[in-house]
Amino acid sequence: MNLRIRRLTVGLLVLYTVLFVQLNLVQLVLADGYRTNEANTRDIVRLFSEPRGSISTSDGTVIARSIEVEGELDRLREYPEGELYAHVTGYLSLNFGASGLERERNDELAGTSQEIEIKSFSDLFIERDRTANLILTIDHDVQRTARAALGDKKGAVVAIDPRTGEVLAMWSWPSFDPNQLSSHDLGGASQAWLALLDDADVPLRSRAYQERYAPGSTFKVVTAAAALDGGHATPTDPILEVTDNYVAPQTDRPIMNFGDSSCGGDLTEMLRVSCNTGFAELGVTVGADRMAISAGGFGFNDPSPVDLPNAATSIFPSASFFTNNIPLLAQSAIGQFETAASPLQMAMLAAAVANDGVMMRPHLVSEVIDSDGRTVDSVGPEVIGTPITFSSAAELKAMLENVVVKGTAKSLAIEGVRVAGKTGTAEIEGSDGTHAWIIGFAPVDNPRVAVAVFVEGDDTTGQQTGGATAGPIAREVMIDALEATVAR
């Protein structure tokens, strides 16, 4: 009998131990994974029945809020501006979980973060319905201008304050209406979801920060920075041959200029006319190591530091790859081959040059304020790197201003304002169309806004250029952003 009791006791202890380990595994080790899994809607059901904070722009426009409704679920998540901020706020859906800031800042919005739930010792014993509101850096007028200026062109617009990293606008088209996904009509929400998934234009993905594309000649800013910092060039030396083609070592296939034109000269001139042959040769002269260091300094190959989920990592091939592939180094130096960047990354690049070579962390959330009016988080400027020296940045700023005054970026010019910029036209593999890019900043002597505009190309758009297609869009956004940042 005692043997049976001992066996039973041991068996119960083993079962208890297994249960104890499993509970701790689920509650402590795997809890975050279960909670943040987009397929887990248990928290979402709770969130629809409890208070949730709002999301507002810097000028007070509410872009996400919860309203009381009748039915089994007490509250409905509402997005008053519809598609305008869909890729920023994301959605909160009973069917499909959360995305965007709704996902990234869920703990604050729901009031479940420790800073919001517990303010004093008594809060450990008293249940309170505390939430927090997000105040963003985005300016509503600048965001609306970005949408209007891009129009029905597929692409993206990003505007950043180079001094602080504050994102002033982030627009991507096509977009979607998050109200359709947050609806309590689960059948209707499912139909909307399936339609979005079947859409060939992929409107659920933000072209501004979740996708990457060949940056074309806007990447020549990186090549110029590498040449300046590495001592391979100054604004006036060397002077490269004027030619209509460049043949890199290890190949007999030439790199041509846009429209089969001829160009060359010093770095200032090559930037002014966006000379492919000259920058391809310069990239080979600079070398793979220096090019990779410069690209990495500007944020390529590192996860995007923006405070949004699932941001794309911009790509520049490793230096070792080019050991026996010098022709591809020449292609990469002009923003082709496997070089790829998000519009956000290119806005960061422009902002770093504008800010005397200092790169700031881009962010959309400015403040988190709880339901008692207390600021629980304030996001300030944060330096994340110095990809180019102060002196090289000064030289590059002057050359990029020349591109607007006398070169390919004249469409960026604003009367009475010193503007700098660089255009880009990127070839698309398997298509006769081209992507159109432009990056820029203003005022040159005290920059308050840096902009990147990307217009997606395909067979129907044909040969787009950055100056003609993207430039006018960037100019409109830049004008409004300059007005918005006067008081900041």
pLDDT at res. 80? 98
Q: Which two tokens stand for residue 107?
A: 């703990």
- Cα–Cα distance measured from residue 448 to residue 444, given in angstroms and rounded to the nearest whole number: 9
10 Å CB burial of residue 11 (0-12, 13-18, 19+) is exposed
Q: Which of the pair, 276 or 485, is modelled with greater confidence?
A: 276
Least confident interval from 127-131, 227-231, 402-406: 127-131
93 assigned to active site = no
Contact 63, 80 (CB under 8 A): yes
Q: What is the pLDDT of residues 349-381, one digit of tens each?
A: 999 999 999 999 999 999 999 988 899 999 999
Q: How much is the pLDDT for 279?
A: 98
Q: Of 25-34, 310-319, 413-422, 443-452, where does mean pLDDT reach its minimum?
A: 25-34
Provide the mean pLDDT of the chain. 90
pLDDT for the residue 68 = 87
Q: pLDDT: is 16 or 162 the higher one?
A: 162
C-beta atoms surrounding 18 within 10 Å? 10
For 302-356, write each residue's pLDDT tens digit.
Answer: 999 999 999 999 999 999 999 999 999 999 999 999 999 999 999 999 999 999 9
The amino acid occupying position 374 is: R
Helical segments of 308-389, H only = 326-333, 343-354
pLDDT in tens, 456-467: 998 888 889 999
Using the predicted structure, report yes or no on whether residue 91 has a pLDDT greater than 80: yes
Contact at 8 Å (CB) between 437 and 446?
no
DSSP string, 417-474: B--EEEEEEEE-TT-S-EEEEEEEEE-TTS--EEEEEEE---TTT-S--IIIIIHHHH
Q: What is the mean pLDDT of residues 266-271?
A: 98
Q: What is the pLDDT of residue 454?
A: 98
User: What is the per-residue pLDDT for 129?
Assistant: 61
Mean predicted confidence (pLDDT) in 127-153 = 91
Give residue 189's identity as a one-letter amino acid code: A
Q: How confident is the model at residue 277 (pLDDT cuts 50, 70, 90)?
A: very high
Check: CB of residue 98 under 8 Å from CB of residue 309.
Answer: no
Judged against a pLDDT cut of 70, whether residue 84 lies above it is answered with yes
| H helix runs in 25-123, sequence order | 31-36, 42-49, 86-89, 100-104, 106-110, 114-117
Q: What pLDDT is attached to residue 121?
A: 37
What pLDDT, on the 0 to 100 scale, is given for residue 296? 98
Rounded to whole angstroms, the Cα distance separating 319 from 314 reads: 16
DSSP letters along 99-164, please? -HHHHHTHHHHHT-SHHHH-SSGGGGTS-----EEEEES--HHHHHHHHHHHTTSSEEEEEE-TTT
Supply angle C-alpha 151, 155, 157, rounded to 5: 80
Over 80: is that where the pLDDT of 125 sits? no
Asked if residue 135 lies in contact with residue 363, where contact means CB atoms within 8 angstroms, the answer is no
Confidence check: pLDDT of 41 > 60: no
Range name among 33-42, 172-181, 215-224, 267-276 with the lowest pLDDT average: 33-42
So what's the pLDDT on residue 123? 43
Do 257 and 461 form a contact (C-beta atoms < 8 A)? no
CA-closest candidate to residue 354, choices 278, 481, 446: 446
Q: Is 295 left (phi over 0), alpha (psi -120 to 50) or beta?
A: alpha
Say what percent of the chain tops pLDDT 90.
77
Long-range contacts of 113-122 (CB under 8 A, 24+ apart): 113/376, 115/376, 115/377, 116/370, 116/376, 119/372, 119/374
Judged by average pLDDT, the poorest of 8-22, 117-131, 282-296 is 117-131
Predicted local distance difference test score (pLDDT) of residue 74? 83
Q: Kindly list the structural domains of the chain, giving each domain's residue range(s) and its CATH number in brackets, ordered by start.
A: 216-484 (3.40.710.10)
Active site residue: 217, 294, 332, 366, which one?
217
Q: What is the pTM for the complete model shown?
A: 0.88
> pLDDT value at position 126?
39
Number of residues assigned to the chain = 488
